[in-house]
Chains A and B, each alone.
Chain A
Amino acid sequence: MIAALLKRDLAQFFPFAGSGAALPVVFFVAVAMLYPFAVGPDAQLLARTGGGIVWIAALLAAILPLERLVARDIELGMFDQLRLRGVSEEAMMAVRLAAHWLSFGPPLILAAFPAAALLNLDGETVRLLLLGLLAGTPGLAAIGVIIAALTASLRAGAALSGLLLIPLALPLLIFGAGALSRGDQASLGFVGAISLALVAVAPFAAGAAIRAAR
């Protein structure tokens, strides 16, 4: 049952699978491409600020698919039908979280290579950036699922999503991007810890949210 759910969710969200599903990755690369044009071709400036830009791009790419993440299946009645078959809301949201991360996390980490080249990042920075994204993207996915479930039944959901995202994502950004400027790995440990906490909480928070929205 869980495998069937994951398969369906992945088919919906994986890049190039459905309409607009590749958008987060395209968006991410586009930001990395445009940033040097916007600030000028100063190699030192790019190398110093590029890592932070990659983090912000990753953050925004993670919330691009939010509107499709939960609301659509509520409208379709998918969650009701699954509930009647004994699947808990928490399990549905855990599967959704896994599918959401798989569909943007690994592609984003791969896209970070060309992005790093475009931004003239050095080897050590790239290493910290990749480790940070690996540790941080599950947390971003968890934030995305929580926000999507919370705002699913609201009319102005999209506007609220942005507001909710900022405080939730700040810790990840501070430690993730901070690791780059300080060049220390300890911050990455914090990123991983925050991510784990978010991933652990997300299925319960999102499950309760869609139960309440019903």
Chain B
Amino acid sequence: MKGSDRAVPALKANALACRQGDRLLFRGLGISLSPGEACHVTGANGAGKTTLIRTLAGLAEPYAGDVRVEGTIGLLDERVALDPDQVLGRALAFWFGIDGVDDPSPVLARLRLADLAEVPVRYLSTGQRKRAAFARLIGQTPNVWLLDEPLSGLDTASQALVEALVAEHCKRGGITLIASHQPLGLADLHTVALEDYAPREEPAA
């Protein structure tokens, strides 16, 4: 399950509208990203950043509009998908095994996780967990990174590391979409503010 290079990665959303329950979060949202591009989605809490990410990942159905993603998708959100009872090394080894990573040590070293390999996941701090999730993401080698609040809980050094990882991913021709209310230190960043697509008080049409 290595990330395939067959198709040119692309992420497109057209006239997208999403709901949470009965509440319309945003509508008329259009995104188009080609290889090497990164997009920063901003919005207040509850604006629909997570819903947008899950819709783009294909895990939720859009209320209206359509989504087209070429290439493999990697998702990083607040759920790290690592067994809390297992030590970090083994929990990550499950995903490395599925994703066909033969030697995880460079990834672990890059994310400064090598010393934590014997620590059970439930004892890890929020930031350490997030770094572990990044290790899982990098091992998956997807074309499209969908990152939901990737900086929350990270210290300054780790934030810089994440920004460097995103820049490298885009340089390799990958696509990144980041939903975050924090500012990002990345060059050539598209920005989408979900407030611009919020439904008016009187719903038009």
Contacts and interface: CB of A to CB of B under 8 A. Distances in A.
Interface stretch (A36-44, A79-87, A157-165): A79-87
Nearest to A74: B79
Contact of A80 (B1, B75, B94, B136): B75
B82 A76 contact: yes
B74 interface: yes
Contacts of A81: 75, 81, 95, 136
Binding site secondary structure of chain B: loop
A77 B81 contact: yes
A80 B79 contact: yes
Contacts of B99: 85
B82 A85 contact: no
A102 to B, nearest CB: 19
B140 A76 contact: no
Contact of B85 (A18, A83, A85): A18
A1 B79 contact: no
Contacts of A75: 79
Q: How large is the interface on A (under 10, 10 to 19, 20 to 34, 35 or more residues)?
A: 10 to 19
B60 interface: yes
B81 A76 contact: yes
A8 interface: yes
Contacts of B136: 81
A70 to B, nearest CB: 15
Contact of A8 (B74, B79, B94): B94
Residue of B57, B58, B73, B83 with highest tally of chain A CB at under 10 A: B83
Given A1-B98, A80-B59, A80-B75, A86 B1 contact: yes
A124 B46 CA distance: 64
A77 B59 CA distance: 11
A152 to B, nearest CB: 14
A77 B80 contact: yes
Nearest to B78: A77
A36 B60 CA distance: 53
Given A1-B1, A8-B94, A83 B59 contact: yes
Interface of A: 1, 4, 8, 12, 18-19, 75-78, 80-81, 83-86, 214
11 contacts: A4-B97, A8-B83, A8-B94, A18-B85, A76-B79, A76-B80, A81-B95, A84-B59, A84-B73, A85-B1, A214-B54
